[in-house]
Amino acid sequence: MGSFENGQATERRFGTLAVHAGSPHDPSTGAVIAPISLSTTFAQTSVGSPVGLYEYTRSSNPNRDNFEAAIAAVEHGKYALAFSSGSATTAVILQSLAAGSHIVSVSDVYGGTHRYFTKVANHHGVDVTFSPAIEEEVEKLIRPNETKLIWIETPSNPTLSLVNIRAVSEIAHRHGILVVVDNTFMSPYVQNPLTHGADIVVHSVTKYINGHSDVLMGVAAFNSEALKERLTFLQNAIGAVPSPFDCWLAHRGLKTLHLRAREATKNATIVAQALESSPHVISVNYPGLDSHAQRAIALKQHRDGMGGGMLSFRIKGGKEAAHSFCQHTKIFTLAESLGGVESLCEVPASMTHAGIPREEREAAGVYDDLVRISCGVEDAEDLHADVLKALELAVAGSKA
Ligand SMILES: Cc1ncc(COP(=O)(O)O)c(C=O)c1O
């Protein structure tokens, strides 16, 4: 499996990498799937001479190493580092900045990222400026000698608007600034930000990469030696690391990511088209539709112009209809989170984005009647029928 090691992976295609990268056969038993290495400590033959590569599990662990090698391969990076959650990944990257640093971020970031930027990073002397139109505004928001990072999330949550990673990276690099892209919504199968010029790509592994709604975890991938040194130091020093069992589970999930991402995109496309032609729907946000305002970016930045498994739509009948829709679906479960094999729906204004003041929320397109959907891998015909039935019941109920 030598050819799947870090740095030599890009010659293979995605499915081959997902299945084989970071998956060496066990040298002593021949086991095709690595055992879960639960030991927290590793024997040494003499002081400072461990038997193998490992000393203490917070510093490194075989299952974490395997998972990190696989993510580096599928994100076309040299290195990857895993953390105990997507939020811990963000926190460690922010901790790598000196006090007095400045960040320019897209406005439409995940709520927890917004919370970290505005309620934690500021106490460490890191200042964040949010921009609703980062491609146009970034150049004038950069503060000489202070701005150290540009933070992008594309597509945004929950309105699925896109950012041109290459355009922003070119501006950032002219000023010696690093670009981070949160790629959680697309997954490494649909979008590889490093190949579009980003310096670090981050994921909430909790979503598509693990894909089975049973692991909380995060990961960052990148190419720079200097970043590897600094972030590896912080990974160990802060200790927000995932368990070996979670690494093993997430690695197993990754092996089918390409199959799940293709199926989720197919399902989301069918559901988005049905919603778009329904008289009960005001508008649909889905980057796989020709009507999406930034479809041209999706065609350039996403594999085969895929739209991914996430979409949102405004239902006629206001908040009441939105809530009612989520109670009338039989296959879509009303729940937060996304990216699992099972389809989910939620009302962002009342759930995931309830903490954002109404005016700010609505300026970003998050109205009370917006429903967010995560399409899983069930049969498209069943999802399609479930959505149409729930729409009718919800809109009829709100009229009555
Ligand atoms: C886009 C995005 N980034 C980061 C996170 C944080 O990840 P976690 O929940 O694994 O901490 C989430 C969680 O929903 C997310 O949707």
Residue 278: the pLDDT is 97
Give the CATH number, domain containing residue 130: 3.40.640.10
Residue having the nearest C-alpha atom to atom 6 of ligand 1: 86
Rounded to whole angstroms, what are the CA distances from 149 to 98, 127, 234, 257?
A: 11, 11, 17, 29
Residue 9: the pLDDT is 46
- Ligand 1 centre to CA of 174 (Å) is 30
Q: Which of 84, 87, 137, 82 is nearest to 111 (CA)?
A: 87
R_g of the chain, CA atoms, integer Å = 21
68 and 187 together in one domain: yes
Residue 322: the pLDDT is 98
233 and 346 together in one domain: no
| Domain stop point among 221, 254, 287 | 254
Q: Which residues of the chain have pLDDT under 50?
A: 1-3, 5-10
Residue 393: the pLDDT is 96
22 and 96 together in one domain: yes
Q: Is the CB of 89 under 6 A from ligand 1?
A: no
Residue 11: the pLDDT is 80
Give the CATH number, domain containing residue 392: 3.90.1150.10
pTM: 0.96
18 and 39 together in one domain: yes
321 and 236 together in one domain: no
What is the total count of domains within the chain?
A: 2
99 and 170 together in one domain: yes
| Domain stop point among 236, 254, 272 | 254
Residue 368: the pLDDT is 97
- Percent of the residues in the chain that have a pLDDT greater than 70, as a whole number: 98
User: Which H/E stretch holds residue 358?
Assistant: helix 358-363
Pick the catalytic residue: 65, 79, 108, 110?
A: 110
245 and 262 together in one domain: no
304 and 174 together in one domain: no
Residue 108: the pLDDT is 85
| Domain stop point among 254, 271, 292 | 254
* Beta strand residue intervals within the chain, DSSP E: 44-46, 49-50, 79-83, 102-106, 127-131, 147-153, 178-182, 200-204, 218-222, 281-285, 310-315, 333-334, 344-346, 370-374
Pick the catalytic residue: 65, 108, 182, 386?
A: 182
Rounded to whole angstroms, what are the CA distances from 110 to 11, 49, 78, 136, 337?
A: 33, 44, 26, 21, 11
64 and 205 together in one domain: yes
Residue 143: the pLDDT is 98
pLDDT tens, 341-352?
A: 999 999 999 998
Residue having the nearest C-alpha atom to atom 13 of ligand 1: 204
Domain that holds residue 305: 257-399
- Ligand 1 centre to CA of 248 (Å) is 20
Q: Which of 334, 364, 365, 339 is nearest to 351 (CA)?
A: 334
pLDDT tens, 234-243?
A: 999 999 999 9
Residue 205: the pLDDT is 98
Residue 3: the pLDDT is 46
87 and 199 together in one domain: yes
317 and 201 together in one domain: no
Residue to mutate (ligand 1; options 186, 204, 310, 346; most atoms within 8 A of CB): 204
Q: Is the CB of 206 under 6 A from ligand 1?
A: yes
Q: Are 219 and 202 in contact (CB under 8 A)?
A: yes
303 is catalytic: no
Q: What is the residue-averaged pLDDT of the chain?
A: 95
First to last CA, the chain: 63
234 and 132 together in one domain: yes
- Ligand 1 centre to CA of 204 (Å) is 5
